[in-house]
Structure 1
Amino acid sequence: MSTATQTQTITAENVIRLFPDVNTSLASSHKTPTSDSDLQGYDAEQIRLMDEVCIVLDNDDNPIGSASKKVCHLMKNIDEGLLHRAFSVFLFDSENRLLLQQRASEKITFPDMWTNTCCSHPLGVPGETGAELDEAVAGVRRAAQRKLDQELGIPGKQVPLEKFRFLTRIHYKAPSDGKWGEHEIDYILIIKSDVDHTANPNEVQDTKYVSQEDLRQMFQDGSLTFTPWFKLICNTMLFEWWDHLDQGLEKYQGEKEIRRM
């Protein structure tokens, strides 16, 4: 996996010069042309989602503009340092089992891979943006609630905003294939709730609740693949957090420093 090392520093002053497809307005439209050659052959719904507006960041998680999901996930832009905001939700039930999802084959990035409950992006729209950490955390909580419903059919009332616990941010870069990848500052959210879920088959092909031992056994199964951010979080922090779900998790919450992976 690549590290988060950048070839250049992206700032509010140079972002437009380096990336003409970035808009300095956060709540902007980024309509992808229907004839876009980069997206030919992919699932129609996943192509539509590539129009979503991601929050473009400088290296310190300050919003400096917005760009389409497509622009943010092209490796040619990632290799030049383009960075966006994301979140990863880890949802546990009352037995402290973690809900995993296997990404659908239709996904443009990291198809068929197992990962944490939900991973996506706050959008450059009112309510999901934010420059200060507290405001940004509130935005990713709203985005997490929205995406848990969209991907897994989990009702918002079963995952109320105040139950999401923000732990830390990780900055990482990882290729999916030669064309697509991720370069994100990823907000880590943990929530404990018993939920009803019905997977959206265009997003999720399978789900599974796992114990710590179940997950360790899955990692030993050579037939399974996992998203790079999920393995990164598991290999560094997840199992320690898991041990403290019911007592002592507070000491891990609200980290101010960004973890550079």
Structure 2
Amino acid sequence: MIVLILSLKMLVRNLSRALWKTLHIEKRCFASDPAKVQPETIDNEDPIQAEYLNKDICLLVDEKDNFIGTATKRDCHRVGPDGNILLHRAFSVFLFNKRGDMLLQRRSSHKVTYPDYYSNACCSHPLYIDNKAEDVITAARRRLNHEFGIPLDQMDPELFIPMTRVHYHDPGDGVWGEHEIDHILIFQGDVKIKPNSDEISEYCYVPKNEFNAYLPTLEGPITPWFNMIRRHRLKLWWDNLHRLKEIAEPDKIKKFNTEK
């Protein structure tokens, strides 16, 4: 049974598919507040998201994940005329509660990259802050706090397990895409959630034995990085939450394709 965490202001809707109802799966839940209506910018970008694109300074890296420079988040995700995208450092957090259920989110429709896509708990970037590169786990805690409202004191840095790094390229919609060396982290613990509706429109915890049946009920696509891990590593990690450090490969950089 999917465990749902609902706030007082949360909107609830029924899953429309009869098959899913016969499996006794509960409703997905919305972020606690509807996203604020903002005036459009010249480029039809949400102003809040546009601000992040311009002010967040990401870390450019080479193919060995060596830090070689900086660029704005906007520049790091813009697909060039030749199809190239700047290679930069990122992270993806797979968050499980103590029962072993996995937290999923649906990206807000206001997101510039991959709006309305479903994904793992948190995917973002360490930044260049105060003239130095931000640590990946520090960045993960910052973003989980920003997107899901998880209190920092509920996210012990020692509980984040670096599993591997993945070098992948995805052209997105041809305007905005991804080219990242993605540090994959797993965190397991029971945390309080109060989602930021500018970032997340839906979220839920999914048990392992219901995951494969749950995916076809989603009302949108899944992000390429989540799909990539789903295909190549998720089952191995989910089956071995009790001994993740034994199977982790944090020093390796894998190359997986993002195709379904």
Specify the TM-score bucket, using the shorter chain as the normaliser.
Answer: 0.7 to 0.9
Is 1:86 equivalent to 2:90 in the alignment?
yes
Q: Show the counterpart of 1:168.
A: 164
Uncovered stretches (5+) of structure 1, i.e. residues with no partner: 1-36, 131-138
How far 1:128 sits from its partner (Å)? 6.9
> Structure 2 vs 1, CA of residues 78 and 144 (structure 1 numbering), >3 Å: closer, same or farther?
farther
Equivalent in 211, 214, 233 of residue 210 of structure 2: 214
- SS of equivalent to 1:75: coil
Q: Show the counterpart of 1:197.
A: 193
Q: TM-score, normalised by structure 2?
A: 0.78
Which runs of structure 2 are paired with 1:89-168 in the superposition (5 Å)? 89-126=93-130, 129=133, 139-168=135-164
Question: Letter of the aligned partner of 2:151 in structure 1?
Answer: P
Q: CA–CA distance in 1 between the matches of 2:217 and 2:84? A: 35
- SS of equivalent to 1:172: strand
Is 1:232 equivalent to 2:228 in the alignment?
yes
Q: Show the counterpart of 1:54.
A: 58
> Structure 2 vs 1, CA of residues 155 and 256 (structure 1 numbering), >3 Å: closer, same or farther?
same
Is 1:252 equivalent to 2:247 in the alignment?
yes
> Structure 2 vs 1, CA of residues 197 and 57 (structure 1 numbering), >3 Å: closer, same or farther?
same
Greater shift, 144-153 or 174-183, is seen at: 174-183
Contact 2:85–2:178, Cα closer than 8 Å, also in 1: no
What count of residue pairs does the alignment treat as equivalent? 215
How far 1:197 sits from its partner (Å)? 0.6
Q: Where in structure 1 do 4 or more consecutive aligned residues deviate above 6 Å? A: none
CA RMSD for the aligned pairs? 1.8
How far 1:56 sits from its partner (Å)? 0.4
Q: Show the counterpart of 1:42.
A: 45
Q: CA–CA distance in 2 between the matches of 1:78 and 1:63? A: 24
> Structure 2 vs 1, CA of residues 78 and 106 (structure 1 numbering), >3 Å: closer, same or farther?
farther
Uncovered stretches (5+) of structure 2, i.e. residues with no partner: 1-40
Q: TM-score, normalised by structure 1?
A: 0.78
Contact 1:128–1:142, Cα closer than 8 Å, also in 2: no
Q: CA–CA distance in 1 between the matches of 2:208 and 2:182? A: 22
Q: CA–CA distance in 1 between the matches of 2:218 and 2:104? A: 17
How far 1:81 sits from its partner (Å)? 5.1
How far 1:152 sits from its partner (Å)? 0.6
Question: Letter of the aligned partner of 2:137 in structure 1?
Answer: R
Contact 1:128–1:143, Cα closer than 8 Å, also in 2: no
Q: Residues 215-261 of structure 1: CA distance to partner in whole angstroms, max 9, x if unpaired?
A: 21133337431001001001000111011101x32222243120012
Contact 2:97–2:189, Cα closer than 8 Å, also in 1: yes
How far 1:127 sits from its partner (Å)? 9.1
Equivalent in 56, 61, 67 of residue 63 of structure 1: 67
> Structure 2 vs 1, CA of residues 127 and 87 (structure 1 numbering), >3 Å: closer, same or farther?
farther
Q: Residues 180-208 of structure 1: CA distance to partner in whole angstroms, max 9, x if unpaired?
A: 00000000100111000111000000110
